[in-house]
């Protein structure tokens, strides 16, 4: 795993003075390696690659096919075939030398190239002019070829940590625009698990031309990525620190492969980190205070919940890959102040998507799309997250907009539109989600086949692989989707899980797949990465004849599971509800905040048990006061409502000495962001909180929203 971070610090802790309207700053980047393989093998791959060439040369096998391999200078005229052989040699060497000269010239390293080979060629010519010196010509030939190979291949393609500073220092000495490298500081770990520390220092380039610090940064990081990616058998954390003087006429966002201005203050956060008062001198609400989870910090308590957009390619090499559409939509929420933006349900297997137009992360080809979204979201000061999912028996449907546009009577996705009707899976075979058979033309789902134990073991591995890809793509948070009637929820519920093996039956059996997935994902992601779980707190089936016969997943089941989650590695429980059966007794559009009470009850339980588990509330959270009360003082909110009577009850309880008890630690908002991408800024204005706006939008900050 590779993680690259960049930070901009000023020398001596002070902002430098301006020169001609431009500021100079020191860009600091450091390398930290955690090497699990042999240190020498990993730290200097150039030695291993070069060894093969030198071994071949010592055996004299490079030119074994030439008749002059044992030829002395004075014997040329006596050896048959010498003229033809000597003609072949320059023909072979000339394009190699010309190509290297050209590429060294492109890299502004031609002087260094000539300095390397000049003395060697001069020495050869001198030796040839001394009649008393009898040297074999093949030694010269092999030396030239091997020198070209080692310098051109080992130097460019397998640059080692030991060689890199020397090479860069030499480049600088010959006038290259590269910065001059100083001797590295290498500190090898002596305690198992401790990080090796290799720090490089660069001085500014010697020429007066301005250095493109961003380009150099990206080049170096990508060089190290390519260097280590093929090995893949060890883990390392990169934080690349380089002191280099660069011109900064305006702040720059580092860590992404293109230019975007850095905001003066992160949008959606109070204007100063120490601010405690609103614009009317009241306490800043908890909603706009930061929250740290493991190694990441949310700038406020407002999260963009995952929302299916059904907008990826269903066919070809780009199947399931995120596109510029996702950068535009998700990135906009980040620009306007959301603390964490979660990418929609992303399939860990091809048949785990809800529709053929849903994203996936079962292939390395899909990493770049996620990385581009994460890069932009993080460049705006927000955290980037992704929800990993498997739809189970609710898979292979068509996107809602596809069904509406084409006036389809059924939501089933056929093979013609990219569906997989023969590979819809679930814990138990048979029943479709809507209860309609395959012969019913209005049915929206296919009957699932039952997953085997071997397939479930592979399922866990695929979740782990998808999580690793997500980390490699640069996400800050991973959420596991176990709600809304998708595969994990199907295993949790006795309504849909009627297995008799170790993945069914009692509570322990039905929660086994979830436990294996959570623990598996936790084992392959970094310790700093927060892990969320979305769960349906209830299926709203308690009063149905079906639940009375089979049981259902209800609030007591959720609270029982919640006690186990911290031990499995979950940091935040995202409490939703419903979605597993068409008989559910709930209309989510009837009442605002209809799931908040469930979240509140779970939060009270885990606090009473002394467990470290954050709780998120989601579902029709649309108003500023509603969101404020959920994370500040739940007594002012009844099902999300904020009537005058409820406010008076809260006031009376406070006057009687009652404690403030939040209903949740964060709010997750979905549809309201579709209506108002600037919802965070509007909420701040409604609560009289002065928060930072995007730098580019400052001209309209004081206009009415």
**Confidence label for 676 from pLDDT (cuts 50, 70 and 90):** very high
Question: For residues 253 and 258, what is the distance between their CA atoms, to the nearest angstrom?
Answer: 9
Q: What is the mean pLDDT of the chain?
A: 74
Question: For residues 573 and 479, what is the distance between their CA atoms, to the nearest angstrom?
Answer: 9
The answer to whether residues 283 and 276 touch, using CB atoms and an 8 Å cutoff, is yes
What contacts 671, CB < 8 A, 6 or more positions away?
307, 620
Burial 232-261 (b: 16+ CB within 10 A, else e): eeeebbbebbbbbbbebeeebbbebeeeee
> Is the predicted pLDDT of residue 58 greater than 90, yes or no?
no
What contacts 647, CB < 8 A, 6 or more positions away?
636
CATH architecture for the domain at 291-700: Alpha-Beta Barrel (3.20)
DSSP structure class, residue 557: H
The ranges assigned to domains in the chain are 7-42+160-248, 45-157, 291-700
User: In this predicted structure, what is the pLDDT of residue 511?
Assistant: 98
Sign of CA dihedral 145, 149, 155, 159: negative
Which residue has better confidence, 249 or 268? 268
Residue at token pair 């093969």: 52
Read off the pTM: 0.66
How many residues are present in the chain?
Answer: 705
Cα–Cα–Cα angle for 152, 155, 160, rounded to 5 degrees: 165
**Confidence label for 251 from pLDDT (cuts 50, 70 and 90):** low
Average pLDDT for residues 597-603, to the nearest whole number? Answer: 93
Percent of the chain scored above 70 by pLDDT? 60
Alpha helices per DSSP H over 380-452 = 400-405
> Is the predicted pLDDT of residue 545 greater than 60, yes or no?
yes
Residue 572: φ, ψ to 5°: -145, 135
CB atoms within 10 A of CB 300: 30
> Is the predicted pLDDT of residue 666 greater than 80, yes or no?
yes
**Confidence label for 99 from pLDDT (cuts 50, 70 and 90):** confident
Closest C-alpha among 322, 310, 318, 392 to residue 351:
392
Q: Which long-range contacts (CB under 8 A, 24 or more apart) does 212-218 make?
A: 213/27, 213/244, 213/246, 214/252, 214/254, 214/259, 216/178, 216/179, 216/244, 217/6, 217/27, 217/29, 217/242, 217/254, 218/257
User: In this predicted structure, what is the pLDDT of residue 405?
Assistant: 87
User: In this predicted structure, what is the pLDDT of residue 430?
Assistant: 87
Q: Give the highest mean pLDDT range of 319-323, 429-433, 696-700.
A: 319-323
- The model's pLDDT over 448-462, given as tens digits with 9 standing for 90+, comes to 999 999 999 999 999
3-class state of residue 506 by DSSP: coil
Question: For residues 446 and 460, what is the distance between their CA atoms, to the nearest angstrom?
Answer: 23
User: In this predicted structure, what is the pLDDT of residue 699?
Assistant: 77
- CB half-sphere exposure, 108, CA atoms < 13 A: 13
- The model's pLDDT over 7-54, given as tens digits with 9 standing for 90+, comes to 333 333 333 333 333 333 333 333 333 333 333 333 333 333 333 333
Tokens at 339, concatenated: 């603390």
User: In this predicted structure, what is the pLDDT of residue 675?
Assistant: 95
Which residue has better confidence, 583 or 79? 583
| CA distances, 683 to each of 132, 469, 536, 680 (Å) | 92, 35, 27, 5
To the nearest 10°, the Cα dihedral for 608, 609, 612, 617? -50
Cα–Cα–Cα angle for 109, 111, 114, rounded to 5 degrees: 110
Supply the residues annotated as catalytic.
486
Sign of CA dihedral 170, 173, 177, 181: positive
Flag the least confident range among 425-434, 476-485, 645-654, 657-666: 645-654
Average pLDDT for residues 467-494, to the nearest whole number? Answer: 96
């Amino acid at each position: 795993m590779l993680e690259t971070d960049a930070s901009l610090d000023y020398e001596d802790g002070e902002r430098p003075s301006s020169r001609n309207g431009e500021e100079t700053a020191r860009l600091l980047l450091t390398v930290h390696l955690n090497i699990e393989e042999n240190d020498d093998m990993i730290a200097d791959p150039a030695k291993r690659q070069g060894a093969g060439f030198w071994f071949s040369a010592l055996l004299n096998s490079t030119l074994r096919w030439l008749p002059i391999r044992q030829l002395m200078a004075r014997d040329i005229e006596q050896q048959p075939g010498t003229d033809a052989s000597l003609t072949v040699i320059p023909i072979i060497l000339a394009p190699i030398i010309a190509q290297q000269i050209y590429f060294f010239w492109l890299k502004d390293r031609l002087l260094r190239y000539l300095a390397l080979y000049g003395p060697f060629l001069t020495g050869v010519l001198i030796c040839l002019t001394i009649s008393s010196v009898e040297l074999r010509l093949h030694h010269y030939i092999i030396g030239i070829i091997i020198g070209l190979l080692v310098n051109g291949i080992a130097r460019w393609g397998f640059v080692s940590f030991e060689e890199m500073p020397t090479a860069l220092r030499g480049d600088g000495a010959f006038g290259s625009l590269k910065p001059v490298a100083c001797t590295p500081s290498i500190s090898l770990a002596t305690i198992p698990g401790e990080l090796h520390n290799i720090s490089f220092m660069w001085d500014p380039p010697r020429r007066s031309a301005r250095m493109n610090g961003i380009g150099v940064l990206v080049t170096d990081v990508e060089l190290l990525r390519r260097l280590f990616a093929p090995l893949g058998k060890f883990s390392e954390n990169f934080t690349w620190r380089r002191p280099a003087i660069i011109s900064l006429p305006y702040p720059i966002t580092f860590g992404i492969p293109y230019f975007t201005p850095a905001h003066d203050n992160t949008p959606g956060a109070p204007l100063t980190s120490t601010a405690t008062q609103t614009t009317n001198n009241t306490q800043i609400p908890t909603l706009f205070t930061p929250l740290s989870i493991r190694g990441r910090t949310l700038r406020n308590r407002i999260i963009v919940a995952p929302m299916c957009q059904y907008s990826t390619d269903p066919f070809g090499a780009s199947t399931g890959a995120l596109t510029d559409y996702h950068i535009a939509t998700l990135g906009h929420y980040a620009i306007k102040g959301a603390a964490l933006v979660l990418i929609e349900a992303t399939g860990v297997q091809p048949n785990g998507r809800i529709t053929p137009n849903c994203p996936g992360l079962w292939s390395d080809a899909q990493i770049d799309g996620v990385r581009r979204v994460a890069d932009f979201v993080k460049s705006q000061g927000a955290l980037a997250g992704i929800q990993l999912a498997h739809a189970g028996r609710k898979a292979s449907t068509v996107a809602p907009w596809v069904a509406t546009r084409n006036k389809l009577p059924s939501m089933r996705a056929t093979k013609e539109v990219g569906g997989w009707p023969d590979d819809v899976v679930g814990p138990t075979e048979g029943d479709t989600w809507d209860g309609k058979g395959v012969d019913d033309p209005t049915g929206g789902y296919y009957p699932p086949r039952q997953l085997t134990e071997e397939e479930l073991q592979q399922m866990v591995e695929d979740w782990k692989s998808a999580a690793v890809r997500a980390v490699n793509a640069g996400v800050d948070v991973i959420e596991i989707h176990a709600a809304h009637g998708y595969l994990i929820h199907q295993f949790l519920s006795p309504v849909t899980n009627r297995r008799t093996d170790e993945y069914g039956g009692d509570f322990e059996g039905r929660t086994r797949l979830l436990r294996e997935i959570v623990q598996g994902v936790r084992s392959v992601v970094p310790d700093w990465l927060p892990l969320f779980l979305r769960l349906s707190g209830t299926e709203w089936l308690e009063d149905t004849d079906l639940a009375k016969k089979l049981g259902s997943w209800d609030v007591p089941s959720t609270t029982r599971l919640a006690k186990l989650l911290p031990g499995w590695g979950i940091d935040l429980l995202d409490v939703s509800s419903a979605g597993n059966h068409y008989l559910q007794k709930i209309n989510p559009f009837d009442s605002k905040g209809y799931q908040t009470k469930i979240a509140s009850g779970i939060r009270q339980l885990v606090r009473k048990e002394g467990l470290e588990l954050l709780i998120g509330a989601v579902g029709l959270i649309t108003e500023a006061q509603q969101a404020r009360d959920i994370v500040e003082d739940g007594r002012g909110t009844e099902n999300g409502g904020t009537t005058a009577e409820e406010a008076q009850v809260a006031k009376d309880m406070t006057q009687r000495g009652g404690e403030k008890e939040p209903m949740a630690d964060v709010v997750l908002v979905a549809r309201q962001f579709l209506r108002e991408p600037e919802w965070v800024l509007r909420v701040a204005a409604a609560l009289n909180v002065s928060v930072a706006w995007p730098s580019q939008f400052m001209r309209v900050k004081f206009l009415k929203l």
